[in-house]
Amino acid sequence: MPRLLAALSVVSVSCLVGCQSAGVHHVHATPEVSAESMASLASLEGEWEMVQDDGTLGEGSVFAVTAGGSAVREIMFPGNEYEMTNLYHMDGDAIVCTHYCAAGNQPRMVAEGIEQTDTGPSMHFKVDSVSNFAEGQDHYMGWLRLTFVDADTIRQDWVSFDENGNEANTMTFTMKRKS
């Protein structure tokens, strides 16, 4: 019996060593890309109010720099039953946004950087994968365009996709920095 336990211990340790090194994907960002991209996102830190159709301001998002400056967390509609979280971070030269949806799934969207648009610098995130997309769910967020209109105004254009991967709904949120 002691030999069997010793043999199982060796197999277990071998598996642990192999499991720890296998399957790890390393992607390295250039310092310049990471710094520029994360600085743009970090500039959003603070409270933001949603511009309603009638021009009044309502509940929006709270942005916070976290994880030693390597990520930015956005809480949309904090404290409500439909509260959602977006977590932005670098993956190599790409910016990643994981959307923790009130529907219970988590689309991972990837942007390739910042592009200039007519309304300001913009990051366009496209879905890469969706975790926890359960049977019976009818949508997930497929892409996000985050536009930096000015220092105190951002716009988020969201497109949801149906269970077959087709565009379903669009939503646009314009937010002003809370003073």
The pLDDT score that the predictor gives to residue 164 is 83
Domain count, the chain: 1
The pLDDT score that the predictor gives to residue 138 is 80
* Boundaries of domain holding 34: 28-177
The pLDDT score that the predictor gives to residue 114 is 79
The pLDDT score that the predictor gives to residue 27 is 57
pLDDT above 80: residue 81: yes
Residue 138 counted as domain residue: yes
Residue 127 counted as domain residue: yes
The pLDDT score that the predictor gives to residue 87 is 97
In Å, how far are 60, 80, 133, 150 from 48, measured between CA atoms?
5, 15, 29, 13
Residue 23 counted as domain residue: no
The pLDDT score that the predictor gives to residue 117 is 87
**For the chain, percent of residues with pLDDT exceeding 70:** 80
Comparing 9-13, 135-139, 163-167, the range with the smallest average pLDDT is: 9-13
Return d(Cα 28, Cα 32) in angstroms, integer. 12
CATH number at residue 118: 2.40.128.20
Mind listing the pLDDT tens digit for each residue in 29-66?
555 556 777 888 999 999 999 999 999 999 999 999 99
On average, the pLDDT of the chain sits at 82
Would you say the C-alpha torsion 168, 174, 177, 179 has a positive or negative sign? negative
Mind listing the pLDDT tens digit for each residue in 15-26?
333 334 456 555
Residue 148 counted as domain residue: yes
In Å, how far are 11, 17, 37, 94, 124 from 27, measured between CA atoms?
30, 21, 16, 10, 20
pLDDT above 70: residue 103: yes
Q: Region 115-143: what's the mean pLDDT?
A: 86
The pLDDT score that the predictor gives to residue 83 is 95
Residue 161 counted as domain residue: yes
